[in-house]
Amino acid sequence: MSGALPAGAPAAELAGGAPLLELTDVAVRFATGGGAVDAVRSVNLQLAAGEVLAVVGESGSGKSVTAMSLLGLLPRTAAVSGRAVLAGRDLYGLTAEELRRVRGNEIGMIFQEPMSALNPVLRIDDQLIEAIRVHRDLGRAQARDRATELLRLVELPDPARVLRSYPHELSGGQLQRVVIAMAVANEPKLLIADEPTTALDVTVQAEILELLRDLRSRLDTAILLITHDMGVVADLADRVVVMHDGEVIEQGDVHTIFNAPSQEYTRDLLGSVIALSAQPMEIDTVESAAEPVLRVRDLSVVYGKVRAADGVSFDIAPGEILGLVGESGSGKSTVAGAVTGLVKPTAGAVHFDGSDMNRADKALRRRIGVVFQDPASALNPRATIGDSIAEPLRLHRVLSGSALEDRVADLLRSVQLDPALGRRYPHELSGGQRQRACIARALALDPDLLVADEPTSALDVSVQARVLELILRLQDELGFACLFISHDLAVIERLANRVVVMHHGRIVETGPTASVLYAPQDAYTRRLIAAAPVADPVVQAARRQAWRAL
């Protein structure tokens, strides 16, 4: 590929002279009520024209703060020092007006969540045309022509329809393509991509990565990729910078970082990556003569003209973990809502322990625990962690007083949290700690069935691995059945005894985990598996070729 760069050479040499971007001794300090916090310390890195540099690390490592400092998008409490030289100009020395001209012109920005990057009350044409005209002396008609050209550039079909649409009328993948079109509207020298695929399904992610690779090649744009997804790094990056606790601890070409990392933290980060195995993992199927804990028969849920679930049928045996996989819009969460009684079926039935969930009483519902994707929104920000865990016990009048306090402490210990954390509020805990608290709350009433809807997708890879180990340990100790919903096939492989694959509201394939993942019968399942990136640059290059061929 013309934009590809040889691995292992310094950025300045790759560019044939001075690097496009050079950070020297960059530091960011935040003033807080509790004193100064050094979020970034002495960061040094270089980026050449046409190069993809991935900055990786866990939440709190300083990678996003470093990127946002280049655009002047940090809060006023932030004090930035050092130098950030882009094409000969120090970004930190620019006036506010000069920096506004740089943003969207010399530097484009792709954010993690496209819905938050777009105004929900304005049509796409208004937003994209504005992004063009703010930096170019064009009339509206000319800018609209340029907007149409940009949508074709990011391979969006029917640009006229997209331009007329509001953000909520487009899919996540389409929205991210619109955001990328806005970011490259003025052909910037540098594109900052902050977790650009985290919120996307694996097949859409593969398409977006292919698009970024193509744009880099055609426009010779440098990409500063901020991510915690090592599969994405293996797929796209030329070089890698590893950050930990605000500092750069290691950097090098992608092959060296993946195959011979020098730092223990990097080795641990790579070791925590959950990826599909080279050969099938041995996970026993659950054989039980007992009646299924959950029986779903011919379930259909219709919203207007949309059949969110269409004739779905499956069982879950006592003590079994069933993985439910598919892309956004496949119907996974709709099925979960029907199972928990939050969604009323249009047709068919959901029976839990022989009882119809449509007629379930309070006593029956208490035997189903639920863990949601985002722990921050699942917890009451005004309630302590202990109060949130105690809530179902109070609601069902199971315990009170000191007995309730003891039970909450035991639940916190069961998810490997210090009971003292029960006195804290959600914002005072990390993402992994909050999700552990949500699991403790879901298990408070000793459920027979746990419904986990994407419970690890918002977590760092190392935290994700620990939470999955926790769920497996608790399931082994407590024996609950589990409906585990995910679009991440590697996670499903780690946990599930059996897999159900959904596409457009229907089940397209089901069977033992190893059979579905390593001998898929349906073409959709094969595409889903081929699109999942792995944390190995060589293997991922081969997988990318195989995915293109499907």
Per-residue pLDDT tens over the stretch 230-269: 999 999 999 999 999 999 999 999 999 999 999 999 999 9
Name the residue with tokens 């149409």. Answer: 148
Choose the final residue of a domain: 430, 446, 462. Answer: 446
Distance CA 317, CA 337 (A): 19
- Look at the chain and report how many structural domains it folds into: 2
In a domain, 427, yes or no: yes
In a domain, 526, yes or no: yes
In a domain, 126, yes or no: no
Which uninterrupted H or E stretch holds 44? Answer: strand 35-47
One domain, residues 291 and 423: no
Residue 495 sits in which domain range? 276-367+447-531
Pairing of strands 506-512, 347-352: unpaired
CATH of the domain at 499: 3.40.50.300
Name the residue with tokens 């170019």. Answer: 136
One domain, residues 435 and 456: no
Task: Measure the N-to-C terminal CA separation of the chain; round to a whole number of Å.
Answer: 21
Choose the final residue of a domain: 446, 471, 494. Answer: 446
One domain, residues 452 and 524: yes
In a domain, 146, yes or no: no
**pTM score of the predicted model:** 0.81
One domain, residues 440 and 451: no
Alpha-carbon distances, residue 418 vs 221, 392, 423 (angstroms) = 48, 20, 10
Which residue numbers in the chain have pLDDT < 50?
A: 1-15
Distance CA 183, CA 222 (A): 13
Enumerate the H helices of 113-242 as residue ranges: 114-117, 124-133, 140-153, 159-164, 172-183, 202-219, 230-236
One domain, residues 282 and 363: yes
Distance of CA 414 to the CA centre of its chain: 27
In a domain, 29, yes or no: no
Backbone angles phi, psi at 344, to 5 degrees: -90, 125
Task: Give the residues across from 351 on adjacent strands.
Answer: 295, 356
Q: Residue 283: what pLDDT?
A: 62
Distance CA 140, CA 143 (A): 5
Distance CA 275, CA 540 (A): 11
